[in-house]
Amino acid sequence: MRTATLIAALLAGLSPAASAQEVKSVLAGADPDIEFAEGKYWIYPTGGEALAAWSSPDMRDWTRGEPLLRLKDISWVEDDHAPRHFLWAPDMVHANGGWYFYYSVGPQNPTPSRIGVAICKGPAGPCTDSGKPLVTGGKGFEAIDPAVFVDPKTKTPYLYAGGSAGATLRIWVLKPDMVSIDREVKVDTPPNFTEGAFMHTRKGIYYLSYSAGKWDTSSYQLHYAVSLSPIGPWRYGGPLLVGDKRYRGPGHHSFFEDPKDGKWYIAYHRWEGQFGDGPYQGSRRVAIQPIEYREDGAIETIRMK
């Protein structure tokens, strides 16, 4: 079936059937980026004052490594004169023979959030900051939740970011050095977008997935849209992962294709042991599970187990 026909079939009656894969909560954390490199699986979660990698040989047992990057290692952090700063929502990318680590720097109030990038020696670091922010928020836009996608067709690297206040998706083309902006690409923000955009492609279809709702309440969930390119136009696909009576507020995720078994997986965070609609307190948990695609290209709705 041609790709255009796949898109039409995907969206014509998109009400994905439920899948029943096992979900595994593997560690305390949030906003996980998951990768496979050097024979190991790697998770990069939100960190606070430092960002570190967790590694595993089997996606079951995870070990936290030394910090890849600390606030004190970033020379420009104090330039906004905010009293406190935080690091969160990192994304590790292997491109052009190197490793690049993208991350958010807060606060979002009273000063705008920013996105930075560090150059790393490998998936376990160490990492050295580039020396300047890539993107600075402001005027209703929050520069948070960076995700970089290198289009396998054109080799063009794209930076996706934005969310929360303003709930606006923005996309930039990066220069080949992966640490500089080439230009911004004007795109539409898909329905129900809040934050945490992630792009992956499979069989000619580009899947833009993202979080909707408020991060610490039961409204938080995962939606997606599809396109024939990494910059849209988007065809809305609807909710993909929503909370239930046991696990609340699932979202801020990443997908990856496991070279060991050829399957696609999602890593995401959720609230466990919480009741009511929130706001919730405590630590979120990172869960991993395989995902499945229908013959028409739709992603099966993810049911937490």
Question: How would you list the strands of the sheet with 50-56, edge to edge?
Answer: 33-37, 40-44, 50-56, 63-70
Query: Which pLDDT does position 164 carry in this prediction?
Result: 79
- How distant, in Å, are the alpha carbons of 140, 174, 230 from that of 209? 22, 20, 12
Q: What is the mean pLDDT of the chain?
A: 92
160-209 pLDDT, tens digit each? 999 877 799 999 999 999 999 999 999 999 999 999 999 999 999 999 99
Residue 237, judged by CB atoms within 10 A of its CB (0-12, 13-18, 19+), counts as buried
116-159 pLDDT, tens digit each? 999 999 999 999 999 999 999 998 899 999 999 999 999 999 99
Query: Which pLDDT does position 6 carry in this prediction?
Result: 46
Buried b (16+ CB within 10 A) or exposed e, 102-136: bbbbbebeebbbbbbbbbbeebbbebebbeebbbb
Residue 52 is inside which H or E element, if any? Answer: strand 50-56
Decide if pLDDT at 15 tops 60.
Answer: no
| Tokens of residue 150, six digits | 């290198």
3-state secondary structure of 7: helix
Query: Which pLDDT does position 106 carry in this prediction?
Result: 93
37-95 pLDDT, tens digit each? 999 999 999 998 999 999 999 999 999 999 999 999 999 999 999 999 999 999 999 99
208-226 pLDDT, tens digit each? 999 999 999 999 999 999 9
The percentage of residues in the chain with a pLDDT greater than 70, rounded to a whole number, is: 92
Query: Which pLDDT does position 24 carry in this prediction?
Result: 63
Q: Across residues 268-283, what is the average pLDDT?
A: 96
Identify the bridge partners of residue 289 per DSSP, sorted by sequence position. Answer: 266
Ordered by start, the domain boundaries in the chain are: 3-291
Per the CATH hierarchy, to which homologous superfamily does domain 3-291 belong? Glycosyl hydrolase domain; family 43 (2.115.10.20)
- How distant, in Å, are the alpha carbons of 206, 218, 266, 283 from that of 301? 17, 18, 12, 25
Asked whether the beta carbons of 195 and 270 are under 8 A apart, the reply is: no
Question: Measuring CA to CA, which residue among 169, 117, 161, 167 is closest to residue 143?
Answer: 161
Asked whether the beta carbons of 258 and 36 are under 8 A apart, the reply is: yes
